[in-house]
Amino acid sequence: MQLTGAKILMECLVEQGVDTIFGYPGGTILNVYDELYNYENNGMMKHILTAHEQGACHAADGYARSTGKVGVCFATSGPGCTNLVTGIATAYMDSAPIVCITCNVGTALLGKDSFQEVDITGVTMPITKCNYLVRDVKDLADTVREAFAIARSGRPGPVLIDIPKNVTAEKAEYESLARSVHGTAGRLGALMSRASEDFKAPEPDHNDIEKLVEMIAESKKPMIICGGGVVRSRAHQELNELVNRIDAPAAVTLMGAGGLQGRDRHVTGMIGMHGSQASNMAVDACDLLIAIGCRFSDRVALKPSTFARNAKIVQIDIDRSEINKNVQTDHHIIGDAKRVLELLLERVRPAKHEDWMKYVFSFKTETEYDEASDHLTPQQVLTAIAKILPQDTIVATDVGQHQMWAIQHFHFDYPGQLLTSGGFGTMGFGLGAAIGAQISHPDKCVLHVTGDGCFRMNCHELATEQYYNLPIINVVFNNGVLGMVRQWQTLIYDKHYAATNLDRSPDFVKLAEAYGLSGARVTNVEELEKALKEALSCGHGYVIDCVIDMDEKVRPMVGGGSHITDFMLNS
Amino acid sequence: MANIERQTLAVLVDNEAGVLSRVTRLFSGKGYNIESLAVGTTDDPQVSRITIEIKANEDQTRLIASQLRKLICVHSVKVLVPDHAIRRELVLIKVMANTAESRNEVIQIANIFRSSIIDVSVASLTLAVIGDESKAEAIQNLLKEFGILELVRTGMVALERGQFTIDEQTKVKGEYDYGKNVL
């Protein structure tokens, strides 16, 4: 069947099971949107128009993280696609599967500094798993199939397809192909045929598994780190079973939150720079450290040379290039976290480590705060949220103090419950991600935790929240300063508060009203609880502006590059 | 930390637009200067082979090789160990030779190095030398006194000695493939 490039693209998205696209149109992508018009009218596709392309990219990312499916976003050439760049880098650092489709000027205009032209494949090369410039409409279907396969497989990540405008109008033969046979046809087939045996039928090495089983049996003080890989591979049940069977304390990284039942008695909380005392002390004392889907970032292994210095370190990862990258390991297993854990569970024998558990849990797993404070504290805000909102609420955060407080305080129970920019630390990520999560989970409560600095960056997406009637609850930790940077200035830079004062407009309640939402400014727990109840029942978006003190700190804290138990601030 | 040495990487890639920049940007992104780079198609016209030389220690080289293997356009990567590899480059040198005497001398030097004279003019001779960097350096030093007008190198190309090839199926290669893509 002869179809235009635009129609082939839409058909390929249908092949992939895509039903939602986040995006923003423009000159070069008009042919695609013209085709999308028909698919929307048929009810086959839903398009969410955001206020800014960055918001579309974060929304696709939030959609992907909360569902485990591939998120899709559209943008036009030039500024449209460069606006995606921060979003793509965010997805890349946290291994979130998204496919960005951008259109470029026609092939005859490429390379001539045409209006709204940019070499977006060149720009995004370091922040995508792979990207494509499709010059021939005949290659389009194969390219889209390959892009989705690459985005979702192995270690997931963003992929970008750039299509010149004339290619979206030209016609080529298109034949629908079931997703199950994509790996045997076209470019993907060629990619598969050149790979080694292990590539085609991937299975973790059984001898490697056997060795780890022995190491676990010999260990007296085992410890587990749950990283983002557990969340991506949805291996939470398997990991919970392993932790309980070998009776080992388990810490979670920022990206690993939700990979373990947050309330399990083995969970020591977060590890690293703002990790709990129990996590950091345990990793220093353990004799066997099993890190699953964790890349030992500089926020976890602050000082790689002394990290887990008394332990044999075992790294389980799907990405071979992560082994020995940041921390030297003693053993590794390459494979998908879920499959490796399944194989482990077939063989690992139950164990009890009472003394070791008692030692680890003699340290605090949570930070203690002054509950009697006369003004509203971050902890009071989080306690009230936990009390009033449903337990399975999806939490999207921005970046900074509020992010750390929220993650330390909440107990996440399933993968995709927490959406946060861990690797890239993107301020302004939260609202877009919350929109993606609410679109894919219309029946769940979605909470967006943010700070005044972060919220100001992308608050224009409140328009999207309003237009699509998304009942996202935005809780702003408003301390009038750039809190985390100020904390560093207080502790490390002699209280030189350079450019961290944010005591300025807008009034967030009025802003919410201007966008057609409701809002409330709260200064104590009663007002807050009342606002939360109203937000939950009002059926539309809500902004709660929580006034907190500018000198609240995230505790505990270990300085960058310091040994993991050298706490600069205690819990 | 192991010593910083000249390291040779052989990389098989798709012969497509943009592939070379995908490969080289990995090096620039980590702050390595590429000492030498040579690219050309292989016996299969859809596959190119890149030989890259950098100054790095063993750990750094292993890390960059493993990141190269992650690229979809990369088929295989091998770090070539100097003792088990042959490395050659072609150097073209244009030397000033405007007297019969100097022409004779340059031709003699060329013969000793088994290099060929590929162009002659009234005032100059152009030599083609094949070898590793020590041979190129030696002839360069000898020709300096005549006046080197221009010099160009192809960049080092290298192959492993014996019957081994870049495509060997090993456990480690399988591990890399797994990380790249489980389709």
Q: How many CB pairs under 8 A join A and B?
A: 88
Q: State the CATH architecture for A2-198.
A: 3-Layer(aba) Sandwich (3.40)
Task: State chain A's mean pLDDT as an integer.
Answer: 95
Residue B61: predicted pLDDT: 92
Residues 6+ apart with CB under 8 A from A257: A231, A270, A407, A412, A417, A418, A420
How many helices (DSSP H) and strands (DSSP E) are in chain A?
24, 22
Fold of the A206-360 domain: Rossmann fold (3.40.50)
A207 touches chain B (CB under 8 A): no
**What is the share, in percent, of chain A residues with pLDDT greater than 70?**
99
Give yes or no for A125 touching B (CB within 8 A): yes
Predicted confidence at residue B2, as pLDDT, reads 65
Which residues are bridge partners to A316 per DSSP? A292, A333
Residue B169 sits at the chain A interface (C-beta within 8 Å): yes
| pLDDT of residue A198 exceeding 50 | no
The single residue listed with the structure tokens 């494509």 is: A132
Measured between CB atoms, does B119 come within 8 Å of chain A?
no
Is residue A7 annotated as a catalytic residue, yes or no? no
Q: Name residue, tokens 């494949």.
A: A121
Q: CATH 3.40.50.1220 in chain A, residues?
A: 206-360
| pLDDT(A186) > 90 | no
What is the identity of the amino acid at B125? L
Distance (Å, whole) CA B164 – CA B173: 15
Q: What pTM did the predictor assign?
A: 0.96
Of A1, A115, A218, A220, catalytic = A115
3-class DSSP assignment, residue A504: coil
A544, amino acid identity:
I
Give me Rg for the CA atoms of chain B: 20
Taking residues A148-160, report their average pLDDT.
93
Look at B66 and A320 and tell me if their CB atoms are within 8 Å.
Answer: yes
- From the list A15, A46, A116, A568, the catalytic residue is A116
Residue A279 identity (one-letter amino acid): S
For A320, the closest of B72, B75, B175 (CB atoms) is: B175
Told to judge if A116 belongs to the known catalytic residues of this protein, a careful annotator would answer yes
Which ipTM score applies to this complex?
0.91
A199 has a pLDDT exceeding 80:
no
Stretch A219-235: mean pLDDT: 97
What is the number of other CB atoms lying within 10 angstroms of the CB of residue A161?
A: 24
C-alpha–C-alpha distance, residues A224 and A251, integer Å? 6
Q: Which CATH architecture has domain B5-85+161-180?
A: 2-Layer Sandwich (3.30)
Q: Do A320 and B25 count as a contact with CB atoms less than 8 A apart?
A: no
A310 by DSSP, 3-state: which?
A: coil
Tell me, what DSSP letter sits at residue B17? T
> What pLDDT, on a 0 to 100 scale, did the predictor assign at position A359?
98
Which CATH class for the A378-554 domain? alpha beta
- Whether A53 sits among the annotated catalytic residues: the reply is yes
**B5-85+161-180 and B86-157 in the same fold:** yes
Nearest residue in A to B72, CA atom? A130
The residue ranges of every structural domain in chain B are 5-85+161-180, 86-157
- Of the candidates A125, A133, A198, which has its C-beta nearest B178's C-beta? A198
Tokens of A124: 């995004």
Is residue A45 annotated as a catalytic residue, yes or no? no
- Hey, which bits of chain B come out as E strands? 5-14, 34-41, 47-56, 74-80, 85-96, 116-120, 124-131, 148-153, 157-160
CATH superfamily to which B86-157 belongs: ACT-like. Chain A, domain 2 (3.30.70.1150)
Is the pLDDT at A196 greater than 60? The verdict is no
Inter-chain CB proximity B70 and A321 less than 8 Å:
yes
Q: Is A138 a catalytic residue?
A: no
**pLDDT string in tens for chain B (183-residue length):** 568 899 999 999 999 989 999 999 999 988 889 999 999 999 999 999 999 999 999 889 999 999 998 898 998 899 998 888 999 999 999 999 999 999 999 999 999 999 999 999 999 999 999 999 899 999 999 999 999 999 999 999 999 998 888 887 777 777 776 756 555
| pLDDT tens-place string over residues A290-333 | 999 999 999 999 999 999 999 999 999 999 899 999 999 999 99
**φ, ψ dihedrals at A287, nearest 5°:** -105, -10
Give B163's DSSP letter: T
For residue A517, give how far its alpha carbon lies from the nearest alpha carbon of chain B (Å): 44
Is residue A435 within 8 Å of A251, Cβ to Cβ?
Answer: no
pLDDT of residue A373: 76
CA distance A1 to A19: 23
